[in-house]
Structure formats: structure tokens, C-alpha cells
Structure 1
């Protein structure tokens, strides 16, 4: 009792640590979340089984991609979330992202020009190695298994592309800064926007940008037929 009394008299008073509050933008985002997102993702964004996953730790990058492209809120449960006209303004998307970011942390898209100092040549090489298998060499997208698909990259903004690489939506793998550095991400984005989206077809006629299928048909119908007629002409002359 004596030791306890001495300690109570000399020890500094304990002070309860209040939980840090949300910023003004996050509070606005919380209000939006509780109206449009809580049904599927639950209170405190912890998810609802059979409806929507937890958003704790996904960061503002995931919100920017999913909500900014109109994929969320979902119209109905399907194998793939389709791109639609966004239901939230850019400011509301930023507020929702800020709420999710402050709630559980996660990856964020850097501010400013995401393609500054980019190298188109390096970006093309990186795109062909890491992205073309699903999005096709022309960026038009392609079919995957179980009713899923890799979407077209033509309407994507630089922020949406960066957010997709950070968050890995649906079947897309996550390309963190250890797999693809921020400088390399800038190279890829610049290549997509300045070469693919601007319609620069260095090889000539793009054949719809469907890849080797249409190229093979064109080679067979034009090239092989031309060779056959050339062979017949040579045989006739000889």
C-alpha cells in the first residue's frame, strides 16, 4: 500500500489517447460512403459476405480506379465490373478515396504530371512484356476465362492507369513499386497515351488492332493468294 501510494503521488497522470479524427475531405467521403457504399462494403468498410469485399488497406488508388471509371457502384453482381459513366464527380471520388485512405491506408496515386520525363521506347518495351498478353498489343483489350476480360485502354486517363497498376483490379496483377518503378510506370503511361490512344500506327494499316488473328488472315488472303498467282504466271511463262 505504501509503495502504491508513493507511485500514485509521483507518477505522471495517465491521459487517454483520443483516436485521430478524419480530415474534412475524409468526413465528406464518409458521408458519401454511408449513402452509396455501406450496403455492400459494410460499416467501416469491413465488407459484407456475399456482397462486397473489405476496403481496409486498398487505399485511395483503388477508389480512384473503381469509382472514377464508373465500375462502382455495381449495377448487379457479374463476373466483370463494366466501365460506365461515373456516378460521382471528381471531387466526390477524391473525398471517398481520402476516407478509405485514412481509414485503413494503402497505395495512393501521386499528384502532378505522371508522364514527366517518360521514355516512349522503354514504355513500349515494358508494355509489350507486362501488359500486351491481356490488353493486346494495340491496347484494345481481350477475353479472359470465366466471362472476364481485359478492358480497352483507349478511354483510360493517366491516373486511372497508374491506379490500376497499384491496385490490381479483378484479374489484373498488382504492379507495386518493387515490380515496376514509378519511373517505369510513367514510361508505360506515356506509351499508352501518346502511341496507342493517339492512333499512331508505325507499321501502317492497323487491321482493327486485333493482333495476330487479323494479321494472319490478311497475310493468307493477300500475301499467299498473290504468291499463288505469281507462281501460276511464272509457270505459264515458262
Structure 2
């Protein structure tokens, strides 16, 4: 006992304890930690389970519905190459799965008229088919932005489930994921980001607005969090790209939260429904109509007075 006490008073005793503790920690970790191969196998297994896609089916869909405009190699085709003013498409090299998911899941693709801006429509393909197509384009033509799985997409529909119980369970899971994602954003920060980067095209209310050359910024009322996220990642049409270097993932989440809460705001109402087209437009309409009524009343009163004279 005296021997231990004497050694504890040695000036190097503290260092010795630290070294021994680190050595024991390292040996213990070597026994319990997974090997690099095992860790990679676990990761691949998790990825496969999370994203079960059929690239062969994606290729078949691309061949049937996309190749005529975008080309067999995905580099796009011009009107001169196709000989058809309504059959041409841009280069898909490096667009990534997010661009495919956005365009196809919102029904904008396949397009019957590539010369016109396509509105939002009911998608032609199912969620699984869209995932297959996106995986094929991403693998075959060079990767780009991936699908932001953390942002909720479309809510489940009853027609996709065999029983009411399965549908209710899927809907409950979706709503929980949606609420969790929205709760993670900052409404005030999202409002500032939206007003700075989005309102001049989509209007302060998210109702959309006219652009140049006959184009328009679509309304955000029907957009899901994933739609908005993918649009920021890929910049469809005239929209600029807001990648993670421009707006971080947290910025995007806050902006999406503001848009979703903005959409949930009730219409202010009034005798005429202007669909919240914007404060400036509504003020202009109110001013124009009001002044016109005042002028009309003044003319009528003056004419009536002259008739009595």
C-alpha cells in the first residue's frame, strides 16, 4: 500500500494514468467497432432498403417517353435534328435525380409542346416509376443534385392502398414527417429569404406572377416541401439555382416553412376575390375602380344639375 502511495506522488504518475487509459480505450474500441468493410456493407444495405429502384424499368420509361426529344444518349435534340418543331429537348447530362423528380412528379414532363411553358398537372407516372426513371437518368447521364428525401413529397392517396387501415397508417406517418420537417424551420428567417429571393417573381403571397416572353412564375399553393426544395436545387425554367452554397439546407427548410404557412393563411376576403395577387396589384385595382366610380358619380351629378337648370 505504501508502494502505491509513493508512486502516486511521482511527478510522472498523472501522465502514466492518461497513457494507460488511452491504451485501454483504444483496445476496447478495436474489439467493438465495426470494420471498414462491415461499415460499408451496412451503409449499402441501408441505402438499398431506403431507395429500392429498378433502373432497367427506368430505362424502359426513358426509351418510351423521353428519348424522342432528349436523345438516346440524353444530350438533347434540336428541332433540326428531329424535323419536328414540337419534338426537341434539352441536354440531360448532369441534371441529377432531383430535376427528373421535380419535372415528372409535377406533371410538367413528358411535355406535348416543348415550345410552351408547361403548367402543373397530374403526373403521368406513379411514384415508383418516377423513382426508377430518376435513378436511370442519374446513373446513365452523370449525377447531379439528388432527391431531397428529408423534405416530404405528396401526401399518400387512398387509391394507392389496398385497405383503409394501410392508407390511414401511411397518412399518419406522412403527417408526422411533414410536421417534424416544418417544425425544424424558422418562419422569420424564411420570410426574409423569401422576400429577398422569391417574392419579386412568385409575388408576396405565393400566388405567382407574369414574367417576360410570355412566361410566368407558377403559384406555390400546390407545391410540396420537396417540390420547393427541388426547384431551388435545379432552377427550372427561368428560375435561378439556389444550391447549398447559396442557401444552406437550413435556409431552405426555413424558406419552405414560411411558404407552407403562407399558403395556410386564410384569404382576407372582401366583396371581390382577387386571390391575394399582391398588395401593389390589389391597391392599383382598388384605386382605379374607386377613382372611376367617383368620376362617374361626379359626371352623373353634374349632368343631372344641368338638366334642372
The TM-score, its normalising length taken from structure 2, stands at 0.60
Number of residue pairs matched?
202
- Quote how far apart the aligned CAs of 1:177 are: 0.6
Q: Equivalent residue for 2:90?
A: 53
| Residue 183 of structure 1 pairs with residue 250 of structure 2 | yes
CA distance in 2, matches of 1:123, 1:38: 39
Q: Given the superposition, is the C-alpha separation of residues 204 and 111 from structure 1 closer, same or farther in structure 2, using an over 3 Å criterion?
A: same
Equivalent in 119, 129, 149 of residue 111 of structure 1:
149
Q: Equivalent residue for 2:83?
A: none
Q: Equivalent residue for 2:281?
A: 213
| Residue 69 of structure 1 pairs with residue 106 of structure 2 | yes
Which structure has the larger Rg over C-alpha atoms? 2
Q: Given the superposition, is the C-alpha separation of residues 180 and 156 from structure 1 closer, same or farther in structure 2, using an over 3 Å criterion?
A: same
Trace 1:25-44 onto structure 2 (pairs within 5 A): 25-44=54-73
CA distance in 1, matches of 2:213, 2:182: 34
Unaligned runs of 5+ in 2: 1-51, 80-87, 152-180, 295-309
CA distance in 2, matches of 1:32, 1:75: 16
Equivalent in 173, 176, 184 of residue 240 of structure 2:
173
Per-residue CA deviation, residues 49-108 of structure 1 (Å, 9 max, x unaligned), is 230011110001111111111111111233312222110111111111111111210011
SS in 2 for 1:209: coil
Q: Equivalent residue for 1:97?
A: 134
Per-residue CA deviation, residues 172-231 of structure 1 (Å, 9 max, x unaligned), is 001111111110000111111122x21246x886953111111244367679x99xxxxx
Equivalent in 132, 135, 145 of residue 199 of structure 2:
132
CA distance in 2, matches of 1:209, 1:116: 25
Q: Are the aligned partners of 1:135 and 1:150 in contact in 2 as well (CA < 8 Å)? A: yes
Trace 1:220-231 onto structure 2 (pairs within 5 A): none
Trace 1:71-86 onto structure 2 (pairs within 5 A): 71-86=108-123
Q: Equivalent residue for 1:7?
A: none
Q: Equivalent residue for 1:145?
A: 212
For the aligned residue pairs, the C-alpha RMSD in angstroms reads 2.4
SS in 2 for 1:43: coil
CA distance in 2, matches of 1:165, 1:73: 21
CA distance in 2, matches of 1:92, 1:199: 34
Bigger Cα displacement from structure 2, 211-220 vs 90-99? 211-220
Q: Given the superposition, is the C-alpha separation of residues 198 and 38 from structure 1 closer, same or farther in structure 2, using an over 3 Å criterion?
A: same
Q: Are the aligned partners of 1:116 and 1:186 in contact in 2 as well (CA < 8 Å)? A: no
CA distance in 2, matches of 1:90, 1:117: 26
Q: Equivalent residue for 1:234?
A: none
Q: Are the aligned partners of 1:79 and 1:146 in contact in 2 as well (CA < 8 Å)? A: no
CA distance in 2, matches of 1:100, 1:27: 11
